[in-house]
């Protein structure tokens, strides 16, 4: 899967979970082996390989309604990824 296709798929998943782009979205980086999750719903940006970022979005980011007024952290995403 191309990097752009991975970004598009990840952002589609996030929209399906109820997030607007300003809240939480996946972006390309200058490094072709890294993607970035950023927005006001994550404490600080999360960067990793396209496969890991897609897995984090799919399996570890809760629906916006469930997250409510809270934010997630990169540490929480890493912990979730290690457990799955």
So where are the chain's domains? 3-83
Q: What is the pTM of this model?
A: 0.93
CA 75/CA 61 separation, integer angstroms: 12
pLDDT digits (tens, 9 = 90+) for 62-82: 999 999 999 999 999 999 999
Cβ atoms of 56 and 7 closer than 8 Å: no
**C-beta neighbour count of 76 within 10 angstroms:** 17
pLDDT digits (tens, 9 = 90+) for 5-56: 999 999 999 999 999 999 999 999 998 899 999 999 999 999 999 999 999 9
């Amino acid at each position: 899967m191309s990097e752009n296709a991975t970004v598009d798929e990840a952002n589609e998943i996030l929209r399906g979970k109820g997030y607007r782009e300003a809240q939480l979205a996946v972006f390309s980086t200058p490094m072709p082996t890294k993607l970035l999750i950023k927005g006001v719903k994550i404490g600080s940006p999360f960067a990793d390989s396209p496969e890991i970022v897609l897995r984090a979005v799919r399996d570890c980011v809760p629906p916006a309604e469930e997250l409510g007024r809270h934010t997630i952290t990169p540490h929480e995403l890493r912990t979730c990824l290690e457990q799955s």
